[in-house]
Structure 1
Amino acid sequence: MKTYDCVFIHPTTHIKNTDSTKSDSITYVIMPLGTLAIANLLEREGYKVKVVHTGIEEMLDRDFSIKDLLKKYEASVVGIDLHWYVHSYDAIRLAETFKRNSNAFVVLGGFTASYFAEEILQRFESVDAVIQGDAEIPLLELLQRRSDGEFDEVPNLVYRDGNSLKKSRKRFIAETPDLDRLNFSNFTLLSNFDEYRRCISQFGDLDPYAAKSKLKTQGWICLGRGCSVNCSYCGGGRKAFEILSGRRYPIFRSKEKVVETLAKFEEMKISCAYMDFDPLPQKRDYQHDLFELIRREKIDISAQFLLWSLSDKRFLRDFRRTFNPLYSTITISPESGSEHIRKLNKGFYYSNGELFRWLDDARKEIIPVQLYFTSGLSGETERHFEKTIKLGKKLVVEYPVVSISCNPIELEPASPRFLHPKRYGISLKVRSFIDFYNIFKRLASGLPATTQLGYRTDFLSEPQIVELSRRFREAISLKHYEKWQKFYFGS
């Protein structure tokens, strides 16, 4: 058995197959960006660390059990990321297993753990502490004070002290120099990294395009933290960051450090870099300077860039010149075909006319574009959604390099809709951590979830919201068929 100062555990989401002859489905497999960076920081400070992705372990060995891990590793501290609410059940299940079978100190971190920290500690004795917000320095200091148990000076920490809870008064909020001291690409710390880099989406077993992973490899890259606006549905907007970590403005990682990471990606045969950070679309000097540096360093890699709002022609031209076209795409989310609904819900607004002009520019640069729409937005009615379907059909006909998808929006903790449901015209079906926990416990047990989305709106029931997205996908598929039938047969 190997002994470690800290073992990082990434949970996953399980959907039990009621057919006993088939394996359970494993989904939501992507790790938070900070996990490897924090692990590397601890290693640099002289601690022995390991990162284990339980979903990857199970995908490689369907008989894998966390108890097998306990036979291999003995840890003083176990860090479990609970960033996304879809891991609510599995994170606690893992904590309980470690607590029953070891003497490890169990600490949780991430957005969901941060928002529900006190409830988690009150309900689950298997969790010893939660780090709220940025966790790099707090976890390092927790390890430094592990022997004496004096945690009151550890920043961002909520912890169990006998039969009561305590919360540190100290706060750590990372700035650019803090991000630049982190190494996000020490992949040697992650067990079975070669398999993880083949995860090209969150969906794991449920990914309809999993066959692509035989060729494509992908790495998620940190460009910064924070946001400047509040979209109604997003649990990672400006207000959410302020609640969860105290952050009031976005920060950018230095361009030189980003390029170092991309160079490491290239060295590790990662073919595509996933970039999802665009908090100041009105001023994209950072991206232009970054792209220029990538070209100067002659890094040959594809990129999937998620724009948070429309760009100008220069951005599109620079993107095309910078990245290998093999897997490169730009993703943007209009969300609705109704300009009124888009303005009500999105922090960065643009009209349909502006969207079409931007798509014209993207087509001239021959850049593939992914567009995401949704149903269930605040204020949306079936009449509004008909505009979304109409827009989608027009896009299929006019823009051959555009792929389109639509799924109902789910409820995220700390989003404006979660914080102020009446203001945003929704009724909540989940309000606490235990609600999220129970949903995913039922799925892992082979039982239907009590709610799929976690809410209904003033105008649409939950089944209606789900049905609208299905109708959109059906309409778009039919339009694709009609388009290619006309191309081949002229009718």
Structure 2
Amino acid sequence: MKSFDVVLLHAPSVYDFRRMDYVHYGPISDVIPSKPVFDMYPAGFFSLASYLEGRGFRVGIFNIAARMVSDQRFDPTRLLRGVDAKVFAIDLHWLVHAHGALELARIVKELKEVPVVLGGFSATYYWREILEGHPYVDAVVLGDTTEPCFHRLVEKVERGEVSRLDDVCNIAYRDSSGRIRYNGITFVPESLDDFAPNYEAVVKVMTRSGISNSLPWSGFLKHPITAVMTYRGCPFNCLGCGGSSFTYHAIFRRSKPGVKSPETLVREFREITERLKAPIFFVNDLQVLGRSFIEKLTRLLAEEKSDVEIFFEFFTPPPRDVLELYRKSGERVYLQISPESHDETVRINYGRSYTNSQLLHFVRAVKELSFERLDLYFMVGLPLQTEESVAGLGAFFEQLHREAAGILDAFVAPLAPFVDPGSPAFHMPSRYGYRILAKRLSEHRRLLLERKWQRMLNYETEWMDREAIARATYKAVLSLLDSKHKLGVVSDGYYREVRRSVLEAMSGAPPSIPDSKETLREEELYPKHSLLRYLTPKLVREIIVYKLRG
């Protein structure tokens, strides 16, 4: 029996997806590392584990979803029977886990007479429905930053004071009489420096839990990529985004970003690279924090003299002088931006307020400054889009490629499966050209059990119903794929394989290459090296030490 104070669990989107008949998941997870059952747990697992470990609690991480993906014979119930903890915590961050997270909570409660806690953005939004309809969930941790509040909750459990939670911040819970209580979201820090992960503690937790049990997602060892969360909050209002300014204000009570200092971000960067020589993604557009912040961070990164690939993302194209700062941050710097649509009218309407001319100038500057690569991400399912209009994506890519041949790539995926709860479009659909087909958590749980990905969508637009969104997605994919092949961005073999995959999907045939992304191949998304290239002596030593300590 493995014993912990706190166990963090990550569920698949649907439990148990392995027992379902064939499901056509389509391209819903094609442009992210995880599988279609979304087996990647939130980055908050690392910060929560670090915070609790630093205060003397013994933490375990068990990625149930990843184990189920990797091993058809894996029995989650058997694993849970062999794990003892004072608190089991399950993420319901992304709404796509609405089915799996709650089913896993039910299983845990049947096996263990201990508190079961949910947390994350979607749990925060649906806290009342969760507590009213799911008696096996004892509490929901609320908001975007919960480490001290969850720590206080665990202390209460340890002292046997679970009936006295009225002074615990950011929670809703069921008291001893069965009444539902809501303490509100009162902890919304502006500095996140105290909540950065400690990667020695992360290695300890993962080793103690078992590396195979605690991988961030099932394919992590094949295509590892790490992330540094730079801030929480956003000034933009992209219509379908549950991390929009509207949502942060209305749901999470955040009026300004919670920020990590450049020094803290570089410390995280250093702690990761000392252990794993994998690409590092700095999450969010640092332009939000101002030029001086970027200048300091990129200078400190340059002083690290690391040879790992560094990824930065942008919400709007930065000016050339800011790009010059980013270029100095490392030897191999990758950039990403999501124009969402090749039609600037669609883009601006959705919440990305820049023109094609601005994007073109940005692409040209990226090439001139010799960045390693620039990836563009487009989306289908936006207001004003039609089946016919999305087919112009390939020609637009060819126009941009003329300015940045050799470093430019692009990807397209549907807005899937959900318009996020709390987003502007979810709350005011008719204003923005949407029709929302599911509002309650229970309705989204039912959608996740559909057999075709387009039937999982919780929305339509005034211009396209769900079937039209699916057809438009495949048209956009083929348009872009044809242009990429024409320009030599993808090989003949890659082109034939992916085109066949897309045509099979359009015809409704099961994929001839199972367990694969439908509209691209994973190696196109991120740099790939042998596993030995990623490992460091420090990581190996720490794993051995913590394995021996148990």
Q: Please, what TM-score do these two structures have when normalized by structure 1?
A: 0.87
Going from structure 1 to structure 2, the CA distance change for 1:170 and 1:454 (only over 3 Å counts) comes to closer
Alpha carbon RMSD of aligned pairs, Å?
2.6
* CA shift in 2, pair 1:236/1:198, >3 Å: closer
Name 1:157's counterpart in structure 2: 171
Alpha-carbon deviations, 1:33-78, whole Å to 9, x = none?
2211112211222222111111333344332222222232111111
Secondary structure in structure 1 of the residue aligned to 2:4: strand
Q: Determine the structure 1 residue equivalent to 2:224.
A: 217
Name the CA distance, whole Å, in 1 between partners of 2:212 and 2:367: 35
Identity %: 25
Matched, 1:91 2:95: no
Give, as a single letter, the amino acid of the residue that structure 1 aligns with 2:153. Answer: L
CA 1:460–1:184 in structure 2 vs 1: closer, same or farther (change >3 Å)? farther
Separation in 1, partners of 2:428, 2:370: 42
Task: Give the TM-score, by structure 2 length.
Answer: 0.78
Q: Which amino acid aligns with 1:145?
A: K
Q: 1-side partners of 2:290 and 2:413: how far apart?
A: 30
Q: How many angstroms does 1:392 deviate by?
A: 2.8
Q: Secondary structure at the match of 1:221?
A: strand
Give CA-to-partner distance per residue, 1:294-336, whole Å, 9 cap, x none.
11233332112111111122333333332242xx421101111
Give the residue type in structure 2 aligned to 1:93. Answer: E
Cα distance, 1:196–1:403 mapped onto 2, change above 3 Å: farther
Aligned-partner Cα distance in 1 for 2:156–2:213: 35
Match among 35, 58, 78 for residue 68 of structure 1: 78
Cα offset, 1:5, TM superposition: 1.6
Provide the residue aligned with 2:92 in structure 1. 82
- Structure 2: gaps spanning 5 or more residues: 24-34, 493-550
Partner of 2:147: 136
1:402 aligns with 2:408: yes
Q: How many angstroms does 1:430 deviate by?
A: 1.4
8 Å CA contact 1:378, 1:424 repeated in 2: yes
Corresponding residue for residue 429 of structure 1: 437
1:111 paired to 2:121: yes
**Structure 1: where are the runs of 5+ without partners?**
none
CA shift, 1:435, in A, is 1.5
Q: How does 1:182-201 map to 2 (within 5 A)?
A: 182-185=196-199, 186-188=201-203, 189-190=205-206, 191-193=209-211
Kept after mapping to 1: 8 A contact 2:62/2:214: no
Output aligned runs, 1:219-238, within 5 Å. Answer: 219-238=226-245
Native 8 Å contact 1:240 1:415 kept in 2: yes
Query: Quick one: which of 170, 181, 187 aligns to 1:166?
Result: 181
Do 2:393 and 2:479's aligned partners in 1 also have CA atoms closer than 8 Å?
A: no
**Paired position in structure 1 for 2:318:** 311
Query: How big is the shift at 1:480?
Result: 2.8
> 1:331 matched to which residue of 2?
336
Q: Give, in angstroms, the shift of residue 192 of structure 1.
A: 4.5
In structure 2, how many angstroms separate the alpha carbons of the residues matched to 1:260 and 1:69? 35
Give the CA deviation at 1:457: 0.8
Aligned twin of 2:471: 467
1:476 is matched with which residue?
Answer: 480
Does 2:472 match 1:457?
no
What is the aligned counterpart of 2:56 among 14, 21, 46?
46
Q: Is the 2:67–2:213 contact (alpha carbons within 8 Å) kept by the matching residues of 1?
A: no
Q: 1:255 to 1:387 in 2, by over 3 A?
A: same
Distance 1:341 1:465, change over 3 A: same
SS, match of residue 27 in structure 1: coil
1:267-307 C-alpha deviation (Å, 9 max, x unpaired): 11232111221264483321221110111233332112111
Rate the CA distance shift 1:403–1:430 in 2: closer, same or farther, 3 A.
same
> Does residue 272 of the first structure (1) align with residue 240 of the second (2)?
no
Matched, 1:6 2:21: no
